[in-house]
Structure 1
Amino acid sequence: MIHQLKRQWQRRKLTRDGLEYLFAPPYAGEWVAIDCEMSGLNPKRHHLLSIAAIHINHNHIDTGNGLHLICKPPVPPTSDSIVIHGLRGVDVAQGMDYDAMLALLLPFIGNRPIVGFCPLLDMAFLNPLVKNYMGTPLPNEVIDIRALYSRRTGNRTEGVLSPDQHLSAILAHFDIPYVETHNAFDDALMTAMAFLHLKRVRG
């Protein structure tokens, strides 16, 4: 009920036509896994570099229809961050501006709940761009697979990331292969696989 009221309040702030569907109640059994790569961890100083999104339909991950978008940030990534995500200045220089990225991303996300690993950090980078684009942040429910895993294992850490809550550890728990290459699409795919296992466990 609280989430529904929040959606209604946010819809009144919508400034861009044609996006009303984002505020419709989500369909049962549909989610979207997302992952972002950033130039750092501070949304006030760093920038979004890429984002991937993959649909989850009931017990199926629609990998053939996923998005993986490279963005052109106002400041190129530093050598320290390139080591992590592999996106060089020359890579992002050919990327999309943020409005063009959102024009593709928002219809793909639609009204689906968003699934992620530490998604609040991703949303801290994404939502200011969304608000600038359409007048309000995304209204979608956000699901952190760490919270699902913590409830399953009984390991509650009050928001502090413990070693057995890292994505690699969660995947290992379900015998899901961990892809060492660090990019948004692979991370979104692994997040989606972990979510399906956790959803089945929850029944």
Structure 2
Amino acid sequence: MWHSLQKRLAERRLTDPRYHFLFDEQPDELVCLDCETSSLKVRDAELLSIAAVRIHGNELLTSESFHVRVKPTREPEGANDETQSTSTRGIDAALEPVEAVKQLLDFIGGRALVGYYLEFDVAVLNRIVKPLIGVNLPNRQIEVSGRYYDYKLQHNPGSTIDLRLKTLLSDLQLPATLPQHDALNDAVTAGMIYLALKERGFG
């Protein structure tokens, strides 16, 4: 109910009618989203790459993925504890942030977004999305760590729940073979977690 009200208000504030399609929900499909950034602080984070993979029903459509490198507005600094990636390989072929986000919006449409700690990625994207279309991303958001928390809480009331990615993958008996901190791999991993929880009644 609250999301529906927010969505109606956002629709009225849309400044570019070309993006009205973001409000056209597609209940049969979802999009798993991940962003690779230069920092874990929203205000400082530079987009380095964006990836998204669609889910149709119970199928993760890895053949229909979206993955682009993004040209940061300033050079990423050397690796540190707050840096997800500092790779600058292929920087000449990378897209400007606004162009990358435009392409992402075309890919996701009105589909709900799925991710692991998705709030951060959406907040970074909204720094570009809002000036572009007048509103933040209106898409419904599904946080897989939250779904996992509900799943574990139902089976172990009052217990302490570990939400680290490796714990989720191990507990849900999912492969942990994909390299982490790669946007496309992380989007695929979020999709696998979502489908595993859906099988358990928490989709």
The alpha carbon displacement at 1:81 in A equals 5.2
The alpha carbon displacement at 1:172 in A equals 1.2
Paired residue total = 198
Cross-structure match for 1:80: 79
Cross-structure match for 2:174: 176
Partners of 1:163 and 1:169 within 8 A in 2: no
Structure 1 distance, partners of 2:22, 2:90, is: 31
TM-score by length of 1: 0.89
Cross-structure match for 2:10: 10
Aligned with 1:5: secondary structure? helix
Cross-structure match for 1:164: 162
Q: Which string of whole-angstrom CA distances, capped at 9 and with x for unpartnered residues, describes residues 33-89 of structure 1?
A: 001111001121221111100000110011011011111111111111599655433
TM-score by length of 2: 0.89
The alpha carbon displacement at 1:27 in A equals 2.8
Structure 2's unaligned 5+ residue stretches are: none
The reply on whether 1:19 has 2:19 as its aligned counterpart is yes
Compared with structure 1, are the counterparts of its residues 82 and 164 closer, same or farther at alpha carbon in structure 2 (3 Å cutoff)?
closer
Judge which range, 86-95 or 146-155, deviates more. Answer: 86-95
Q: Structure 1 segments of 4 or more deviating over 6 A?
A: none
Partners of 1:11 and 1:20 within 8 A in 2: yes
Cross-structure match for 1:125: 124
Structure 2 distance, partners of 1:198, 1:89, is: 35
Percent of residue pairs identical:
31
Cross-structure match for 1:109: 108
Structure 1 distance, partners of 2:34, 2:116, is: 8
Structure 1 distance, partners of 2:200, 2:37, is: 32
Compared with structure 1, are the counterparts of its residues 72 and 201 closer, same or farther at alpha carbon in structure 2 (3 Å cutoff)?
same
Structure 1 distance, partners of 2:10, 2:152, is: 35
Structure 2 distance, partners of 1:139, 1:96, is: 23
1:16-95 equivalent positions in 2, closer than 5 A: 16-24=16-24, 26-80=25-79, 85-95=84-94
> Which residue type is aligned with residue 78 of structure 1?
E
Partners of 2:53 and 2:61 within 8 A in 1: yes
